[in-house]
Structure 1
Amino acid sequence: MKNSIAILLCVSIFFIQCKEADSNSKKPTVYTVGDSTVKNGQGDGAAGLWGWGDFINQFLDTTKVKVKNHALGGTSSRTYIQKGLWKPVLDSLKKGDYVLLQFGHNDDGPINDDFRARGTIKGIGSESEEIDNMLTGKHEVVHTYGWYLSKIIKEAKSKGAIPVVMSPIPRNKWEGKKVPRNNDSYGLWAKQVAAREHVTFIDLNEQMAQKMETLGEDKIYGNLFYKKDHTHTSAKGAVLAASIITQELKKTNNSLKDFVLENPTIILPKKTNIYLIGDSTVANNGIPEAVGWGVELHKYLDTTRVNIINKARGGRSSRTFYNEKLWQAVYDTLQKGDFVLMQFGHNDGGHIDQPKYRGSIQGISDSTMVVTKNDSIKETVHTYGWYMATFINQAKEKGAIPIVFSHIPRNEWKGNSVERADKTYGLWAKQIAQKNNAAFIDLNDSISVAYEKIGAKKIKQFFPKDHTHTNADGASFNASIVVICLKADKSLGLRDLVLSQKEIDRLSQIALNTSIENKK
């Protein structure tokens, strides 16, 4: 009896699986082909860059249609075919499938060189040029942009598939308040080919340019595009392009419109969380004369991909940050892949057994001291290293990545040199990081070196309150050093989230100049 039931269950599962497989095989597939503005890199958002082909599935009913992104960065209409990228798509096509097609960004390159050799002849005519390809070493007949588009369209139609042609997305280049169109070049030629081949055309270039102009140039950067790249979109830019394509589809008689969702739920890539823990030199203290570098850090990071969660608190040492359960609150919310940037030391040198009861035992040993506070409560006090090790190892428990900083220098000089903490908390921070296999950044020395290049007179403008706390300009300058250090360490995995060195230098120079001008 048991064997019979088991056999029936196996048969039932087999038929269910067969039914599901049959259902999937009957689903039409939407293939996207194009360049890096359709699929950037591996389609994983490296450097924050995405193509619209990575998000168009979220606008379609994927219970009824499949989406496969076969675009490849760096290709033109010519090299997409030449490299054999079109053939596997063509071989997979079945009647009722769709091919979303967008080329043009790379077709304007040289027809023959030893670098990329990807250009096509301008226009949609039958002109051709015979070359001995300097890159491939092969004899080749090069055709017009329109010829290659037509080839893909005709071959797709021969398999019963339904092509949709897009004009290339606009580049983030402005002329006054206008985004230049390509409606007299590749956008026009894409439209003409679509009309000639009797397939759907979507003027993505024009529609997206209009949306960009509505937002205005200032709201584009760090939103739809980055300053570092005028061609490739952020995730939000890619989503905008995908939304335009699907909305424009709904205005056509193309059957793909039947699969467009009315109210799609768009999921953007998960942001990287960067937690900051430390004292007032990191924290938001609410006064302009004492601004921690953590307040200004956002200027130097790609905040479309990063959440900066500043949990630093003024007046805290590693001991009081632990005892007041400020660390516990961070620990409770940590997730795998988060970063924890920690900087303590300024207040750890305070009294251990007197109010404010924030001093920790010097060093990184396991030494302890029992202290009786005014309220008669006894506390076991540990070393600076013990508290730091606790933060490091508990962060690791949650799968987070701890990064230990030595504390920023005070505005204290000996001649032309800033006084270091390399024999005390700077040294102990380094030792405890190494002992617990955590990344260490010598912020104390790095900022000191930067200060010394500028000179004590100018640096003094950063410290209007005392020798420890900077104003906003000083905080911005210090934050620039933080990100330079983060960018320099390839192993940390944060360098792609940091602005270009040119932009960092520009912003830090603004901070320095502003502080000097304000003093005048």
Structure 2
Amino acid sequence: MVRAALLAALAFGTLAASASETPLQVFMAGDSTMSIKLEKDYPETGWGVPFSIFFDEQVSVHNFAKNGRSTRTFREEGLWQQIMDGVKSDDFVFIQFGHNDQSEHKKDRYTPPEAYKYNLRRFISEARSRGARPILMTPVTRRYFTTKGVIEPTHRGYDDLVREVAQAEQVPFIDMEKVTRHYFTAMGDEASKLRFMHIAPDLHPNYPIGVTDDTHFNHLGAREVAQLVLRELKAMQHPLAQRLRTPDPKHLQR
């Protein structure tokens, strides 16, 4: 019996090692809250940037998210097609839009609610048709505190549309609007401000007159949001949570 248990353990270890050595791609479709930034925009950082280094050497992360893009313009500009051209069976595709889709006053990106839902469903269907595994996400929160000291929802129902699509399509889903809103609310106004693009005048050459931006993250905010995404993946026992990089032994001794 002991021998059988030992053989089973060895077999499991072999399978786990084999899985970790399998090349895998992760594609990211989204907007500025996820995207890679130009140097002129630093310290603004999308959460997809720190997220990309969480995984083992056999996992390649391709961040196609881009500033100002909605579900409509992401497809119109060919960004989604680039993902479809590169994706393979068993790869993962993160899908997170909403900030720009809801911007009715910006006609270059606005997407009406029903079109938004249709676009999300189409992304999911096309990813699945290639054997890929989509992960749907609500847009991250904006940092708008009420007089009661809580962050108010600002997505005008577009987050609810994502929840509806996730339920209808039975797709792996992370409710990042709720996760980040609760996280930054618990942190409070002043501490959460340090995670967003708040820079006083004459402190940073990219922003000589300063900036007050409660939508976009700085380096710290992006890293913490990426960590929240990873926490949710672990909680749902998602396969990606089994593909994390091996920590440096020195870090374990601290």
Per the TM superposition, whether the score is higher than 0.5 is yes
Q: Structure 1 CA distance, aligned partners of 2:191 and 2:197? A: 9
Give yes or no for the alignment of 1:97 onto 2:91: yes
TM-score, normalised on structure 1? 0.39
Q: Deviations over 1:174-212 (max 9, x none)?
A: 112111125761221112111211111101111111111
Give yes or no for the alignment of 1:163 onto 2:134: yes
From 86, 103, 112, give the equivalent of 1:121: 112
Q: Structure 2 CA distance, aligned partners of 1:212 and 1:110? A: 26
Q: Secondary structure at the match of 2:193?
A: coil
Aligned to 2:78: 84
Give yes or no for the alignment of 1:70 onto 2:54: no
Q: Structure 1 CA distance, aligned partners of 2:244 and 2:177? A: 20
Q: Which has the higher mean CA deviation after the structures are superposed, 196-205 or 255-264? A: 255-264
Give yes or no for the alignment of 1:180 onto 2:152: yes
Distance 1:263 1:171, change over 3 A: farther
Aligned to 2:195: 223
Percent sequence identity is 29
Aligned to 1:141: none
Q: Structure 2 CA distance, aligned partners of 1:54 and 1:48? A: 12
The answer (yes or no) to whether the contact 1:150–1:197 under 8 Å persists in 2 is yes
Q: Secondary structure at the match of 1:31?
A: strand
The answer (yes or no) to whether the contact 1:50–1:235 under 8 Å persists in 2 is yes
Give yes or no for the alignment of 1:189 onto 2:161: yes
Q: Which amino acid aligns with 1:219?
A: A
The answer (yes or no) to whether the contact 2:36–2:63 under 8 Å persists in 1 is no
Q: Secondary structure at the match of 1:105?
A: coil
The answer (yes or no) to whether the contact 1:167–1:203 under 8 Å persists in 2 is yes
Deviation at 1:41, TM superposition (A): 3.5
Give yes or no for the alignment of 1:254 onto 2:234: no
Distance 1:215 1:264, change over 3 A: farther
Q: Structure 2 CA distance, aligned partners of 1:200 and 1:264? A: 31
Q: Deviations over 1:281-318 (max 9, x none)?
A: xxxxxxxxxxxxxxxxxxxxxxxxxxxxxxxxxxxxxx
From 216, 223, 244, give the equivalent of 2:228: 244
Deviation at 1:241, TM superposition (A): 1.2
The answer (yes or no) to whether the contact 1:95–1:161 under 8 Å persists in 2 is yes
Q: Secondary structure at the match of 2:32?
A: coil
From 138, 154, 170, give the equivalent of 1:198: 170
Distance 1:45 1:29, change over 3 A: farther
From 29, 33, 38, give the equivalent of 1:37: 33
Q: Which amino acid aligns with 2:175?
A: D
Distance 1:253 1:182, change over 3 A: farther
Aligned ranges 1:20-419 → 2 under 5 Å: 27-42=23-38, 44=39, 46-59=41-54, 61-110=55-104, 116-122=107-113, 125=114, 144-176=115-147, 177-181=149-153, 185-226=157-198, 228-260=212-244
Q: Secondary structure at the match of 1:228?
A: strand
The answer (yes or no) to whether the contact 1:53–1:69 under 8 Å persists in 2 is yes
Q: Which amino acid aligns with 1:258?
A: Q
- Cα RMSD (Å): 2.6
Structure possessing the higher relative contact order (Cα contacts under 8 Å, 6 or more residues apart): 2
Structure index of larger Rg: 1
Q: Which amino acid aligns with 1:149?
A: L
Distance 1:184 1:230, change over 3 A: closer
Q: Structure 2 CA distance, aligned partners of 1:216 and 1:236? A: 16
> Unpaired segments of 5 or more residues in structure 2?
1-20, 199-210, 250-254
Q: Structure 1 CA distance, aligned partners of 2:40 and 2:125? A: 32
Q: Which amino acid aligns with 1:236?
A: L
Distance 1:107 1:94, change over 3 A: same
Deviation at 1:30, TM superposition (A): 0.7
Q: Which amino acid aligns with 2:181?
A: A
Report the count of equivalent residues: 218
Q: Secondary structure at the match of 1:38?
A: coil
Q: Deviations over 1:487-513 (max 9, x none)?
A: xxxxxxxxxxxxxxxxxxxxxxxxxxx
The answer (yes or no) to whether the contact 1:93–1:161 under 8 Å persists in 2 is yes
